[in-house]
Each structure stands twice: as C-alpha cells, then as structure tokens.
Structure 1
C-alpha cells in the first residue's frame, strides 16, 4: 500500500458564525521586522500536533517559529490575539526564474474552538524570491508575518495549512492557545511581548501599539550582539479615574536552574483603565539557557495584584553545536558531511587544547561558510544544526545517532525532500520510502530490510 503525502487543498473561507464586528477587525499584517537574532533552541520552539483529518504532512516545529500574544480588546468580552510567525524556506519548493529562485504558495489560517468548530478562516497567496540557492534552505529572517483577530475567552486551536502552488504539496500544523478574560478582574496584565526594540519614537519597522513602536522578537532569543531584551505589556485596572496612586511593579528573572538572578521594582504612572508599558534588561552577563520573566503589579486603589509570566532564551551563536553534541569530539564528528579532510584533522588536534582555542577554531570554520558575513547570523550554521537535530529526533537507529543513519545523512546534506512516498508491507517487498528532491533531480530509495524501521539507502536515481 502506498501513501503519498501530496494533496490538493480547497481553503474553507466560511466564517462559521463569527460576528460581523470580529470579521471586520480580523486582518493580515505583513511586517518588515529585522529581528536578526539566532533561532531559539529546541526547548523553546512552539509545540505542534497533527490536526485531525489533515490533508498533508505535518510541519515539524524546527521549521516554524510562532509566537502568540493576547491583550484586551476594544469591547467587552473581546480579546485581541496577535499571532506572529515565520516559516523556513526549506518548507517551500523553489523554481529558478532567471537569476533568482521563486516559490509561490497559499497559506490558510483556521481558528477552531475547543469543540472543534471552525469559527474563522483566512487565506493569503504570496511568493518568496531569493537570490541564491543557499537561501532556499534558510529561515526567512527578512520579514515576519502577523495575523490578528478578536475572540471571546476560551481555548482554541490555530491551524496552518501551507499549500505549495508549484508542487501541489500541502503541509499542516496546529498551535493550541488560551484566550484569557481581561474584563472580569479588577486588575490584570496582558501577555508579555518580547521584543528587539520598544521605543516611543516613530519607526519604519515594527508595530504601533498604543503609542509605542514595538519590534517583536519571535524567537525570544538574545545573546552576543543582541544583549538588550525589551518587553511590552499592558495593564488593565478598574481603579477610579481620579486616583493618583502609582502602580507598584516588580520584575523577577529566574535562571535556567530556577534561581532568582534579578529583581527590579519601580512605580509606574497610571495611564487610565488601559496602560501600555515597556522595560529593557541587559542580558550581557547571562549564560546560555532558558530563563523566565515574571511581572507583578500591585494596585492599592483596587486592593489587587496581578501577574504575567513568559520565557526567553539566551543563545550564544557559536555554542549552538552544544545543543546537538555533548563534547568537542562529537562536534567535530558532526562536521564530516561538509568539512574538508584537513579541517577535520586540524580540529581533532585541538581535542586536549583549552576551550577558547576550540571555540576560535569552530568560529573560523563557520565564518568561512557564512553566506552573509556582513550580518550577525550565520544562516548556514543554523540550518545545518537544525537538520542535525531533526535527524537525531526522526532517524535514530538503535543506540546510534540519527544523523549517522542513511536517512539522516541525506537529510542533513540535502534538507527535507520535496515529496515522500511511503510503501508499507506488501506481499513481495519490504517496506520502503522514496524521497524526491526536485531541485537536484534525484530520488533516494530507502528500504527497511529487517522490519524494525531501520531504513537503509538502497538506490539513487
């Protein structure tokens, strides 16, 4: 029996009972956000699950960055949802057009309630154009996308359906989120929005939120050249309009081990029933890892306190290999698919040398392969270790690392295939898979010879 993960998709444009107010206030924003930050570590990525009745293969979370912020809407029982997302170019099928590479796609976002009823569907058609073939395998850092809508409090699923117009392929993913009720409490705080910059000055990039310009940081990742962590949040209070009492605010940052490493208190000037605030933190001395930030606000006029919490990440770019390898030898081994023999020999000689010499050697190795040396990011390195991580998670063979398997090796070198055909048990054959790579006009056949899911490369044509 053959299962082909390629299908057509007719987007559902019905509103499913969404009120005219909500429909008129649902919109797409395509924003040019120069985030310029390293992709977040695996523990930071949004978790997706395969939607029921999905028509395509599932998008692995390492190829999608999603961040959702909720805030009070403009009318009672209405909550604003800002969904920011960025998809890797590896999800798209690029076709050479003149000197450039182009991909055409259609993306549908569908919102369903906790009972599975669709209440909103929006679809947009767009294209991506890049200058080089290397860029077709990278996360698109030039712009983030934002989808905004208004919903009543409750639990929801946001489904993404990505349809590749050129190859007729479809990929799906879903993100679950909860919409709070910001109107039934005397004091409440919105979600924390982590940003690369928050300023009161006008700007050509970013979003205007209640008089402040916010440049979101979708990855919530900071480090190296980007040590300034900005946040944006809103406070909602039922205090009397003429009250003069300041809002006492406490910020706490906890380390990856749960220890409080920073506490800061300040009194905020009231801005009425809805206030927009920002704060900046310097993370220069923070080590790599996952941190939590908590905001606590006390309003003595209503005799209430409220809290909001969010996680962020410190990710030093040239320590990125440590997310997939435990020691220097393993880091060097993982470079065998792209390194020259003399480079491997040089790195192996540094096994017993001080850590700074090892670090400098790795820095030089990746700097030589940086497709955009004028920027802070090394997109090729990020792409490479993202593939290593995916291979380890999906192609493990017994006790061996997934990147060393045949499927892992092809995946790391060539990236995700444009199409996968899976053939399960048939009378005359073992289970096998055919991976199609349209950009190099090659097909790789992997066979499970022993029936334990250990696919070996059998044929290339």
Structure 2
C-alpha cells in the first residue's frame, strides 16, 4: 500500500534556510516546495491539486528591453504501476521592472489540477529554469481513494498564505475563494497567519423534527501531542450535503517548532464525527542559538532530521514507533540523554530500511504515512487517531482489503469488520463503538497475538 511521501516539518524547516539565497549569489541548484491536496471529484475520479513554489531568488533573469524576465518550465508525470498515465508540460514567466525588487522569501507559485481514478500513484515533478538551464526533480507517492458516499467525510486540508473571496476564474480560485497555497507549510515572523481550506462531504439531509446543524471545532497540537490552542466551536445549518470550511489563526507568537492543525466536523443529526489534520512549522530565527542556525544552514541529510528536536519531541517520535519497538529497545532508549536519543532514533529506522540502496527509507516513510492516515480518519477532539485501536491496526497491518460497516441507528451498536486476505492466510478485526461517540474498540480478531472473543456479538446490544 502506498501513501504520500512523508516530509517531516523539520525537513521543511531546513529547506527554508537553504532555499533563500540572495539574488546576487544565485543558488547553485534550483529547488522548490511541493505539496498536494485531494478533493471529491465525481463518481469515478478524485480531484487532486499539486502546489509548487519556487523562491524567486533561485531564478536567473534575462534582460528584455528595460525589464527582466525569468522563464520556467513545469513538467508533471503520473505513473501507476510503472505505467505512464498522465504527462503534462507548460511554461510560465516572471517579469519584473527591477532586479532590486526581488527579495528573500518571495515565492513564484503554480497550481496543477487533475482527476485520478482510485489507486496508488508515483508523481514525478520537474521544474526547469530555461534561462539558466538548471532543473530540479521531486517525486511523491499518493494514494487516491473515493470517499465512502454514506459517511461524513473531509477533504485534505489545504494550507495557504492568504484566502479571500473571489469569483474571477483562475487556477487559484475554488468555490468562490482565491487561495494562495503555502506548499512549504512554514509560518512565523514573516508569515504569522495560517489560512486553511477544506471541504465537508456527505452531511445528512434536513428532516423534520431532527437537529439541522453541524459543528466545526479546530485546535492546534504541539510536538508532544498537547493541545495548545482550541478555537470556539461554531455551528451552522446543513444547507447542502457538501460545504466549504475556510478560516485562519495567528501563529506568529508560537515558539519555533512543529505543530499540527486539527479540524473536526460533527453532524449533530446523526452524531457522526470526522477529523483531519495537517502538519505545519513555525520558524522564528530569534528562538535558535547561533550553533543551531549554523547547522541548519547546511544541506539536509538523514542525520539532521532530529537536529532541532528537544527531548520531548524526540520522545514523541519514539512513541510513534511503539507498535514495532521491542521491549529491549524501549529500555535502552529510556536510559539515553538527548544526544543519545537523537542517534538512537536515526539508527532505529536505519536498521529497518527495506532498501538501503535508495536515499529514502521506504519502511519509515510507509510507517509515518500510516500514522498520518490514522490521524486523518480516526482522530477525535480528545484523542489522536494513531492512538486508537483502529489506528494501531491500520499502522501495523495497512488498509484492510474489505470493510463491513454497520452504522448508528441500525438496531445495534455501530461496529466495523476489517478483513485482510493476505495476513496469516486471512484474518478479521471487529471494532465496536460501545459509547456511541465514534470511539471504536477492538473486541475480537482472528489474528495471532490479538484479542480473541468469539462471543463478541453479545456486546452489540
């Protein structure tokens, strides 16, 4: 099973420092930020947007009369099982009156949209500076799936540098909003306000004598999993089955570090809840010591991933690995100081790398992407998705081959049966929402070393 390639917030932070070279010292290598978001398309396709951002200080400008111009070529290639299914190239240009107007932090943005059928894809992106004849390539893995048409669902969250009402047709406009994406996910002193956009699907219809509202709750979570800011819950009328959620919050006062923005929607008529989250990073140069500033200005390497993490953040990342860590590894980790923990985490994942011949650690990326998927699907306002029973099973076994759901209002407690055909010759996991508030507990499984209760059906009443 393939998920989106995991870019940790610390990687993005280091990239920010290496990308912003002064204009008079053009970067020796073109670089750019890359992100995406998936939205509901139609019965057969999902609508996907790719966001690309290049620092303008990376371009070489040519003189055209009394002005200056950068010329850029973008190429997108989409592969499914090594077969090319989509290829597109186009050119854009950036024209300025004076090179002196180009400053660090300015970005040239591009959005590319496409419809994809459900499946696993590898997407190759390429940006070419046609003036300097330099190019850079990046790839990402993406899973496209059609949302369950019978359950409350959220799109991915798109982070932005600004959002405003606009009806002019443009690649930056969706549903009456002009959205300038922030593909880096980095905010702070120079960009203190985080804007977000998401779409809500499958809200229940309005019926007589039934609650007509839905509620939206947002919150910020730090690297330790602590909720540090929670917005006031706001309610609205379900005027349609699909609605847009747009908002913003101030992040300029947050200390430098990684955070997660979480958005929850509750359909008050059927008591259905869905959550989604998006990582972002706050960078304030005044928060870092001189040695840290010097080290982060270097190119990113696997060794540098844990460089900026304090001990609490390192411990959180080891907690993420608790489903696969041995007891001996847990005991060894607890005895280490901060520097020892940084080295231990690096080696922990290195020895699990399924293909050491590649620069990526495919096993680690898959594991973290399953955590991300668990958080998207199973988080509640009081608990992160990866800590739930369904989250643990998803992380360890992947997505089930088949899922049977019995929802609220069917005469029994809501429950789900997950079926895996290729695990131990075929296994099942049964989860029951005993409280009625979306907290599904694992009550029975046919897998080895999992809870076993053949009388689980008696708990449905």
In structure 1, the partner of 2:437 is none
Structure 1 residues 233 and 137, CA gap change in structure 2 (3 angstroms): closer
Q: Distance between the aligned counterparts of 2:168 and 2:50, measured in 1?
A: 21
Deviation readout 1:230-267 (Å, 9 max, x if unpaired): 22111111522546521133322111232111233232
Matched, 1:296 2:264: yes
**Secondary structure, counterpart of 2:92 in structure 1:** strand
Q: Is the 8 A contact 2:187 2:252 kept in 1?
A: no
Write out aligned runs for 1:244-259 (5 A): 244-259=211-226
Q: Deviations over 1:36-80 (max 9, x none)?
A: xxxx8634589xxxxxxxxxxxx98x921112111111x213211
Q: Paired residue for 1:389, among 298, 309, 315?
A: 298
Q: Does 1:272 align with 2:273?
A: no
Deviation at 1:202, TM superposition (A): 5.9
Query: What is residue 280 of structure 2 aligned with on the other side?
Result: 312
Query: 1:210 offset after TM fit, Å?
Result: 2.0
Shift of 1:228: 2.8
> How many angstroms apart in 2 are the aligned matches of 1:308 and 1:172?
29
Q: Give the conservation status (yes or no) of the 8 Å contact 2:213–2:269.
A: no
* Structure 2 counterpart of 1:110: 77
* SS, match of residue 180 in structure 2: strand
Q: Deviations over 1:65-116 (max 9, x none)?
A: 112111111x213211111111245665544555555444432111112x12
**Which range is displaced more, 289-298 or 300-309?**
300-309
Check 1:232–1:164 CA distance in 2 against 1; reply closer, same or farther (3 A cut). closer
Map of 1:220 onto structure 2? 185
Q: Which moved more, 1:169-178 or 1:255-264?
A: 169-178
Partner of 2:51: 84
TM-score (norm 1): 0.52
Q: CA RMSD, aligned part only?
A: 3.8
Contact 1:41–1:315 (CA under 8 A) maintained in structure 2: no
With normalisation by structure 2, the TM-score equals 0.52
Change (3 A) 1:71 1:268: same
SS of corresponding position for 2:298 = helix
Aligned counterpart, 2:250: 282
Distance 1:131 1:176, change over 3 A: farther
Post-superposition offset of 1:299: 1.9
Cα distance, 1:307 vs structure 2: 1.4
Query: Aligned residue for 1:155?
Result: 120
Q: Is the 8 A contact 1:154 1:179 kept in 2?
A: yes
Structure 1: gaps spanning 5 or more residues: 1-39, 47-58, 335-384, 397-461
Confirm or deny: 8 A CA contact 1:66 1:83 kept in the other structure.
Answer: yes
SS at match of 1:229: strand
Q: Is the 8 A contact 2:118 2:144 kept in 1?
A: yes
User: Structure 1 residues 228 and 140 mapped into 2: Cα distance closer, same or farther (>3 Å)?
Assistant: closer
